[in-house]
Amino acid sequence: MPGLQDLTIDELADEFEFLGQWDDQCRYLIELGGELPDLALEEKSEANRVPGCQSQVWFVPQVHEDPAGTTIEIRAKSDAHIVDGLIVVLLTLVNGKTPEEILKTDFTAAFKRLGLEAHLVPQRRNGLYSMVERVRAIARVHAPTDGKHPSPDPFDAVNGSHTSSSSSPRTSETRAVRPSLPVAERAATFDVSAVRAQFPALHQVLERGVPVTYLDTASSAQKPQCVIDKEREVYEQYYANAYRGVYRYGDRISRELEESRERIRRFIGAESTDEIIFTPGTTAGINLVANAWGRRFLKPGDEIVLNEMEHHANIVPWQWIAQQTGAVLTYVPLTDDGRIDLEAFGKALTSRSRIVAVTGMSNVLGTAPPLTELIAKAKAAGALVLVDGAQSVPHMPTHVVQDGIDFLAFSGHKLYGPSGVGVLYGRRELLDAMDPFLCGGHMIERVQTDGFAVAPLPAKFEAGTLPIAQAIALGTAVEFVTDLGFCPVHEHEQSLLRHAWDQMHKIPGLRIYGPDTSHRGAIVSFTMDGAAAQDIAQLLDLKGVFVRHGHHCTMPLHTRLGVPATVRASFGLYNTREDVDTFIDALHFARRELKLS
Ligand code: PMP
């Protein structure tokens, strides 16, 4: 083996090819790393430390000025042999080169050639790209200033005290991808029996042979077999904690999580997976924004704009943060048919409006507010927009970039995915500027007894152990919905809604709340004169029809509607016209039992 200083990337590539298997290549990297000379103690300083690496890594650059030009030589060392091996690889691409050559080097291609892109676990790959960033920063400082490579303050990249992801390896260069086509634009046909066949819980048979008619999808959706299988696969085949172990199970888990994150990114049209934060659900996502953004940016007298139909999850966190910060809440009233009063919305916006928090679809009225119009008005007033996508994301296309959404929160369990996991999307600049919310493991880059530095996105907001199998299976759920296509799904759900709507209007004393079918998703909340909501729900259950009753976590809305409770039937992509007919028959049955007719 040639001395390290003479080793070339071609020789390394030959050796890797000769070894063939990752096991052997990995041992070779460790062996190479073992030969990397150590640095002096004083060189392992904070100023020389490379931020963004899981291991401790120090770079000591030397610049050689000679008549032929300026060349760079880096001596480096880490606290792990495998990382030292990666340093050796990296330095074959750097040492003895001019700054311009370094800046032109395609590091990714070189790493791919060795198979490193495929085999390194995500945190190690991120660490490697942090080193690349550091190398580039050093080269930029010494490159002739021709306007193309502005010379930054080298200490930006050196002192490591700044941990925003703009200096992380996850720059637009390495991670950001253009938003894909909105799923709604894909054409597909919809075969409801084939879809329904994939949901085992819908095929259970109750006592006396009564089938299940599940009309509570707005509360939580049933799961297709592929989602159930995926979660099971994780536990049975490769379960481990995520973003921690370099062993194979840990590596597989981290990759599967990143794949899920990427599917979700595409699904909502985000620019980068760094903007996709796994949370426990919608409630947790909104609390995160209210606390991490609100505490930092809301001042006394700033306005948080809500409306009367919001779920408690999109009211109470704001009430709480308003109490803490002195901000005030403004509630936009609803029209009598349960829509946001657009004129009142316009008037509610002032120069003090900081954020508009609005549902993508009401979980009671089914109202789908005209987000484009609301967002344009909010933006014109200088306010950010958070969309509570708990009900909308599973049923209609969302494209955060095209729609101009700043924050989007949604839950896996309503999206035909597992419970216990959800997503918060946030625009990168906003997430970068926010303080962390929960603190602990994984969200840090470095901890000392007297302080800590936060990790880059998305880890910054993912403290502690994630709901691992759930977050992975959420990616499967997203793929399931994406493959069906929102166009046919939406059309199917709307036809169920219209069928239910027509039949329900024929039932005496039944009152449906909210707008007509052209302004709502497939959710119908109603009351029947002379019957308590709970009694109706209970009697429907006798016929195997599962609906929810109560205030549905929207007490202010029920106050506005003037009723303490409603019964809600909500439809999902697996419901059929027969489900609607069974529901209508069951309503007639309830009326007879309650002697209403
Ligand atoms: N917002 C809306 C509109 C909802 O329907 C729900 C769930 N009912 C939530 C927020 C809260 O979702 P989760 O309980 O999954 O956090």
Task: Compute the distance from residue 282 Cα to the ligand 1 centre, in Å.
Answer: 6
- Which residue did the predictor score with more confidence, 243 or 180? 243
Q: Is 487 a catalytic residue?
A: no
Per-residue pLDDT at 439? 97
Q: Which atom of ligand 1 is nearest to the CA of 360?
A: 3
Q: Which single residue is written with the structure tokens 């930006």?
A: 156
Per-residue pLDDT at 118? 85
Average of pLDDT values for 323-335?
98
Last residue of a domain, one of 134, 158, 182: 158
What is the residue range of 565's domain? 485-593
Q: How confident is the model at residue 365 (pLDDT cuts 50, 70, 90)?
A: very high
Last residue of a domain, one of 135, 158, 181: 158
Q: Is the C-beta atom of 367 inside 6 A of ligand 1?
A: no
Q: Closest Cα to residue 215, out of 505, 493, 502?
A: 493
Q: Which segments within 392-494 are labelled E, that is strand? A: 407-411, 422-426, 444-448, 451-454
In a domain, 268, yes or no: no
Q: Please give the Cα distance from 389 to 421 (Å, whole number).
A: 14
Which helix (H) or strand (E) element contains residue 385? strand 384-388
**Same domain for 580 and 448:** no
For 2-6, 372-376, 470-474, 592-596, which range has the lowest pLDDT when averaged over its residues?
Answer: 2-6
Per-residue pLDDT at 145? 66
- How much of the chain, in percent, has pLDDT values that exceed 90? 83
**Same domain for 59 and 19:** yes
Average of pLDDT values for 314-323?
98
Task: Compute the distance from residue 364 Cα to the ligand 1 centre, in Å.
Answer: 11
Whether residue 107 is predicted with pLDDT greater than 70 in this model: the reply is: yes
Q: Which residue stretches of 327-416 are H helix?
A: 342-348, 371-380, 400-403
**Same domain for 449 and 373:** yes
**Same domain for 76 and 14:** yes
Last residue of a domain, one of 395, 430, 464: 464
Choice among 26, 226, 487, 553 that is catalytic: 553
**Same domain for 515 and 447:** no
Whether residue 148 is predicted with pLDDT greater than 80 in this model: the reply is: no
Q: Is the C-beta atom of 287 inside 6 A of ligand 1?
A: no
Q: How many domains in the chain?
A: 3
**Same domain for 396 and 343:** yes
**Same domain for 397 and 519:** no
In a domain, 452, yes or no: yes
Per-residue pLDDT at 152? 38
Q: Is the C-beta atom of 48 inside 6 A of ligand 1?
A: no
Per-residue pLDDT at 166? 34
Query: Chain-wide mean pLDDT for the chain?
Result: 91
In 398-433, which positions are buried (b, 16+ CB within 10 angstroms) versus exposed (e)?
bbbeebbbbbbbbbbbbbbbbbbbbbbbbbbebbbe
In a domain, 448, yes or no: yes
Q: How confident is the model at residue 2 (pLDDT cuts 50, 70, 90)?
A: low
**Same domain for 388 and 495:** no
> For 541-569, what is each residue's pLDDT tens digit?
999 999 999 999 999 999 999 999 999 99
Backbone angles phi, psi at 50, to 5 degrees: -95, 115
**CATH classification at residue 384:** 3.40.640.10
Q: Closest Cα to residue 528, out of 578, 575, 595, 581?
A: 595
- Answer yes or no: are the C-beta atoms of 583 and 216 closer than 8 Å: no
Whether residue 181 is predicted with pLDDT greater than 70 in this model: the reply is: no
Whether residue 151 is predicted with pLDDT greater than 60 in this model: the reply is: no
> For 402-437, what is each residue's pLDDT tens digit?
999 999 999 999 999 999 999 999 999 999 999 999
Whether residue 155 is predicted with pLDDT greater than 60 in this model: the reply is: no
Strand, helix or coil at 302?
coil
Q: Closest Cα to residue 96, out of 134, 66, 57, 140?
A: 66
In a domain, 504, yes or no: yes
**Same domain for 405 and 289:** yes
Q: How confident is the model at residue 244 (pLDDT cuts 50, 70, 90)?
A: confident
Q: Closest Cα to residue 555, out of 311, 286, 287, 216?
A: 311
In a domain, 10, yes or no: yes
**Same domain for 506 and 412:** no
Strand, helix or coil at 213?
strand
Task: Compute the distance from residue 314 Cα to the ligand 1 centre, in Å.
Answer: 9
**CATH classification at residue 127:** 3.90.1010.10
